[in-house]
């Protein structure tokens, strides 16, 4: 198997935006200052030449090199300023679209006027923005085309036009208004009745890398992992890991849940189960809850972040079919593969960045194709995202610093408890208040019940209005 290099990884502040405008303008200002220093150095060298030559000594200082360095600094500063203007226009246009969707026509008009003012001052901005948008919009289609175009074998006709299919599919997503979820969006519809099973409790420590986050995403019968951090001041924080789609028709993470979340924005069983698991682990409304999710778990994590029940400082998604505008208080980190058909459902996400300063989207094409690589959905497999996470862990990109700061903050906890849950739908014909435990009896975890979480006999199957909890054994601390 071919292994991708770090050079294959594209880290961007948003769909179109590679680097935030403030960073670019700050770099341009430094270059202008350095250009001025080069001019001062050239003037000093010229003066030294004149003094020395007045004494009859032939001296040719590198004044020309200093002048060229100053000119290069100013030219590069100009390029950076133009790029900053280009990204700012992208951000203003995107913000105007959000304002239109929210019904704030005055704000949308003001934002567009600001964008038009920037373009009027520098006509090159419009051309650069057009090129950037075209590249961004084609990135996913190119990745899917390369991934799924079958090889042309002897005796075969022309292969299926995958590029046309990819263009058609992504266009439909845009027309349907799916792929991005605006700030303030809440899931509607009735809550699906689900029952969660606590399959394990254990002790662990804070993750210190994105790779460790991937390794903690549940698989198999487990669907949600919740870590409870007791901080030195006695307060609590939580970290939640949500799994991807499961095939079992009784599973809360089934295909109907995907449709409920993605197409209908309704309260899916997987969302209800995750909220129930977080509450069972001891989280109260307003508590600090960090979120991570893969595939459908990314969908769930995105909607939990938008729900407003908890304070969400960190959202990490792998192969999420949407991108959520989580607001300026949430660091948003999205890992995507350009040749992943599930990531393609996000249609590139937002044109401008979303989330707190330092938020980013990291993407790449996975090695091989559906025909020569890891199979039809190899680009979506969690192992492929684990490799991408490892590339980010080793990256020197400064945007990873904010992620590492979150790990350091969580690592200060005096204790970390891990709770692992399974979840299943409650059939409609069963009274949710009388639902039996999903799994068999489990021993009470030693040395005793986890503090702050009420213990229920293992076989009792306690259920609320929409959710149930049965108790399990020890967690894989991971």
Clarify whether residues 91 and 213 are in a common domain.
Answer: no
CA distance 107 to 154: 59
- Residue 385 lies inside a defined structural domain of this protein: yes
Residue 364, pLDDT score: 92
Residue 120, pLDDT score: 84
CA distance 244 to 224: 10
- Residue 442 lies inside a defined structural domain of this protein: no
The alpha carbon of 186 is separated from its chain's Cα centroid by a whole number of angstroms, namely: 19
CA distance 114 to 21: 15
Clarify whether residues 219 and 111 are in a common domain.
Answer: no
**Residue (of 48, 59, 325) closest to 180 by Cα position:** 325
pTM of the entire predicted model: 0.76
Among 75, 106, 122, give the residue marking a domain's end.
122
Clarify whether residues 205 and 117 are in a common domain.
Answer: no
What the block records as the tokens of 284 is 């109260």
Residue 455, pLDDT score: 32
What is the H or E stretch that residue 469 is in? strand 468-470
Q: Exposed, middle or buried by CB within 10 Å (0-12, 13-18, 19+), for 46?
A: middle
Clarify whether residues 96 and 205 are in a common domain.
Answer: no
Q: Quick check: 411 and 237 in contact, CB under 8 A?
A: no
92 three-state secondary structure: helix
Residue 471, pLDDT score: 44
What is the H or E stretch that residue 40 is in? helix 21-54
CA distance 474 to 224: 14
Residue 84, pLDDT score: 78
Residue 435, pLDDT score: 44
- Residue 384 lies inside a defined structural domain of this protein: yes
Question: Per-residue confidence of the chain (478 residues) as pLDDT tens digits?
Answer: 334 445 688 888 877 777 677 777 888 888 888 888 888 888 888 888 788 777 777 777 777 887 888 888 888 888 888 877 877 777 777 777 767 766 788 888 888 888 888 888 887 878 777 777 777 766 676 777 777 776 655 455 445 555 555 554 555 555 556 778 988 899 998 888 899 999 999 999 999 999 999 999 998 889 999 999 999 999 999 999 999 998 766 789 998 898 899 988 999 999 999 999 999 999 999 999 999 999 999 999 999 999 999 999 999 999 999 999 998 899 999 999 988 889 888 888 887 778 998 899 999 988 877 777 667 788 899 999 999 999 999 999 999 999 999 999 999 999 999 999 999 988 755 544 444 443 322 222 333 333 333 333 332 232 333 344 544 444 544 4
- Residue 276 lies inside a defined structural domain of this protein: no
**Residue (of 468, 401, 385) closest to 434 by Cα position:** 468
Among 424, 442, 460, give the residue marking a domain's end.
424
Structural domain range at position 387: 201-268+284-424
**Residue (of 334, 325, 311, 355) closest to 185 by Cα position:** 325
What the block records as the tokens of 260 is 């409920």
Q: Quick check: 182 and 190 in contact, CB under 8 A?
A: no
Residue 466, pLDDT score: 39
Q: Quick check: 273 and 196 in contact, CB under 8 A?
A: yes
- Residue 210 lies inside a defined structural domain of this protein: yes
Bridge-based pairing of strands 180-181 and 360-364 is: unpaired
């Amino acid at each position: 198997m071919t292994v991708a290099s770090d050079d294959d990884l594209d880290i961007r502040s948003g769909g179109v935006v590679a680097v935030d405008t403030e960073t670019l303008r700050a770099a341009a200002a430094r270059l202008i200052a350095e250009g001025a220093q080069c001019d001062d150095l050239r003037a000093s060298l010229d003066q030294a030449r004149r003094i020395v030559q007045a004494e009859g000594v032939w001296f040719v200082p590198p004044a020309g090199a200093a002048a060229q360095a100053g000119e290069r600094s100013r030219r590069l500063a100009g390029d950076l300023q133009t790029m900053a203007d280009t990204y700012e226009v992208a951000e203003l246009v995107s913000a105007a679209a959000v304002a239109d969707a929210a019904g704030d026509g005055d704000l949308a008009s003001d934002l567009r006027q600001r964008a038009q003012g920037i373009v009027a001052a520098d006509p090159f901005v419009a051309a650069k923005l057009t090129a950037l948008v075209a590249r961004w919009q084609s990135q996913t289609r190119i990745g899917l085309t390369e991934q799924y175009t079958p090889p042309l074998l002897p005796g075969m006709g022309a292969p299926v036009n995958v590029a046309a299919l990819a263009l058609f599919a992504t266009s439909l997503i845009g027309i349907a208004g799916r792929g991005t979820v605006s700030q303030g969006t809440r899931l509607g519809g009735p809550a699906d009745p689900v029952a969660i099973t606590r399959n394990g409790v254990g002790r662990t420590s804070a993750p210190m890398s994105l790779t460790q986050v991937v390794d903690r995403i549940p698989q198999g019968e487990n669907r949600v992992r919740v870590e409870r951090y007791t901080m030195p001041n006695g307060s609590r924080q939580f970290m939640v890991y949500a799994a991807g789609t499961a095939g079992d028709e009784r599973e809360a993470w089934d295909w109907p849940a995907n449709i409920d979340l993605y197409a209908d924005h309704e309260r899916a069983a997987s969302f209800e189960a995750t909220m129930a698991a977080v509450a069972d682990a001891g989280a109260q409304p307003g508590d600090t809850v960090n979120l991570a999710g893969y595939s459908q778990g990314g969908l769930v994590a995105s909607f939990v972040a938008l729900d407003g029940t908890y304070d969400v400082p960190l959202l990490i998604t792998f192969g999420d079919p949407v991108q959520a505008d989580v607001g300026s208080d949430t660091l948003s980190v999205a890992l995507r593969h350009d040749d992943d058909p599930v990531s393609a459902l996000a249609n590139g996400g937002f044109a401008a960045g979303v989330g707190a300063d330092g938020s980013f989207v990291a993407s790449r094409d996975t090695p091989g194709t559906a025909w020569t690589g890891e199979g039809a959905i190899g680009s979506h497999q969690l192992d492929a995202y684990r490799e991408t996470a490892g590339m980010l862990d080793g990256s020197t990109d400064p945007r990873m610093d904010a992620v590492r700061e979150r790990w350091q903050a969580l690592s200060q906890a005096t204790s970390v408890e891990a709770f692992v849950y399974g979840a299943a739908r409650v059939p409609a014909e069963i009274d949710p208040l009388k639902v039996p435990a999903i799994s068999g009896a489990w021993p009470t975890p030693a040395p005793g019940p986890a503090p702050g979480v009420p213990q229920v006999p293992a076989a009792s199957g306690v259920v609320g209005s929409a959710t149930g909890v049965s108790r399990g054994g020890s967690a894989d601390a991971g």
